[in-house]
Amino acid sequence: MMAFFSRLKDSLKGVKDRWSGGIASLFSGKAFDDGFWEELEDRLISGDVGAELSEELVGTLKREARQRGISSPEALKEVFVSLISEELLSVPGTGLPFEPDEGDTPLVLLMIGVNGSGKTTSAGKLATQFLKRGKRVVMAAADTFRAAAIEQLQVWGERAGVRVVAQSQGSDPAAVAFDAWQAARASGADVLIVDTAGRLHAKHNLMEELRKVHRVLEREAGEARLRTVLVLDSVLGQNSVAQAETFNSILPLSAVILTKYDNTAKGGVVLSVARKLKVPVRYIGLGEGADDLSPFDPVEFAAALMESEPPR
Ligand SMILES: Nc1nc2c(ncn2[C@@H]2O[C@H](COP(=O)(O)OP(=O)(O)OP(=O)(O)O)[C@@H](O)[C@H]2O)c(=O)[nH]1
Ligand SMILES: [Mg+2]
């Protein structure tokens, strides 16, 4: 965990400079007057925490400060850090990595999201990490839209030593998913990771296609084995929250992976996702390499973000 913490601290450097740096520096000695509370709320909103939640967090913090007679900035910051982690922890499953042993195998991860959000990369990272933990993994190239998409997944598969089930470009994604399920089943795999084509949530036919893939997997694997994983680009901030709401209304989401956290100025989006969707953020993407995907520990995260030491 400490390794994750220092790693996270490094990876969050960018976010901290741009987002929480501005927030953390507020907690540095000034009086907690009206100006302070207003400024804090403004900075939370511009950091993509969302207006409603920002107001609520500031309100709670203010009340706590008054009730507990807190006067030191350090103490107030600590309360703030625990408020953030409590908010995240209020969604069950947050930060827990996928465990293939949590049910009958193969566990099926259906990766969905808009174009370029990081689905294929996250699929590859997950496959690599499962393999390192001794799990047997199969991947499905159900993004049949572009030949390059199939190749991209195959590259990840070759690098990790994971079998990729694919058909030719333009074939039916649901048929690829079905094939891959059969292969995963037959080979006794622990995990099947299904990559899909990026799609705009407003495109009706593409959403229908996704529903069909989901239907086939649900029929074959059963609901208990299936996890619908929304991959969200955190750089998009509030837009990604809106996307997530639409996807969630079409297919019930089991988990969120928040990618490109290393690149974002909008660190607060993780709080918005938790609050609005009530779907657990399981991992955050912290770069392009296979190891740059971390289970998302809310307590460590909140502490790292505000540069406090993690609570013991
Ligand atoms: N810095 C950074 N880059 C990432 C991360 N995740 C993905 N990327 C990059 O984002 C770009 C898009 O990633 P893909 O995995 O191809 O996205 P996708 O959702 O599969 O895209 P489509 O298949 O076109 O919808 C690639 O250049 C990735 O290397 C991350 O966590 N951090
Ligand atoms: Mg892709």
pLDDT tens per residue, range 23-66 = 777 887 667 888 889 988 988 888 788 889 999 999 999 999 99
Residue nearest to atom 26 of ligand 1 (CA): 118
The angle formed by the CA atoms of residues 184, 186 and 192, to the nearest 5 degrees, is 10
Cβ atoms of 42 and 86 within 8 Å: the answer is no
Q: How far is the CA of 120 from the centre of ligand 1 (A)?
A: 7
At 306, give phi and psi (nearest 5°): -100, 10
In this structure, what DSSP letter does residue 16 have?
I
What whole-number distance in Å separates Cα of residue 216 and Cα of residue 232?
A: 24
Mean pLDDT in order along the chain per 10 residues (312 residues): 58 63 73 88 85 93 92 88 91 90 84 95 97 96 94 97 96 98 96 93 82 97 95 86 89 94 78 89 93 88 67 49
Q: Tell me if 121 CB under 6 Å of ligand 1.
A: yes
Q: Tell me if 237 CB under 6 Å of ligand 1.
A: no
Q: Tell me if 11 CB under 6 Å of ligand 1.
A: no
Cβ atoms of 196 and 117 within 8 Å: the answer is no
What whole-number distance in Å separates Cα of residue 271 and Cα of residue 168?
A: 40
Strand order across the beta sheet in which 255-259 lies: 163-165, 137-142, 191-196, 107-112, 226-233, 255-259, 281-285, 293-295
**Which pLDDT score is estimated for 176?**
98
Q: How far is the CA of 285 from the centre of ligand 1 (A)?
A: 9
Q: Tell me if 103 CB under 6 Å of ligand 1.
A: no
pTM over 0.75? The answer is yes
Q: Which amino acid is at 252?
A: P
What whole-number distance in Å separates Cα of residue 247 and Cα of residue 231?
A: 11
Q: Which of the ligands is closest to the CA of residue 290?
A: 1
What whole-number distance in Å separates Cα of residue 213 and Cα of residue 108?
A: 12
Closest residue by Cα to residue 279 from 248, 249, 240, 239: 248
Give the chain's domains with CATH numbers.
2-89 (1.20.120.140), 100-298 (3.40.50.300)
Q: Tell me if 47 CB under 6 Å of ligand 1.
A: no
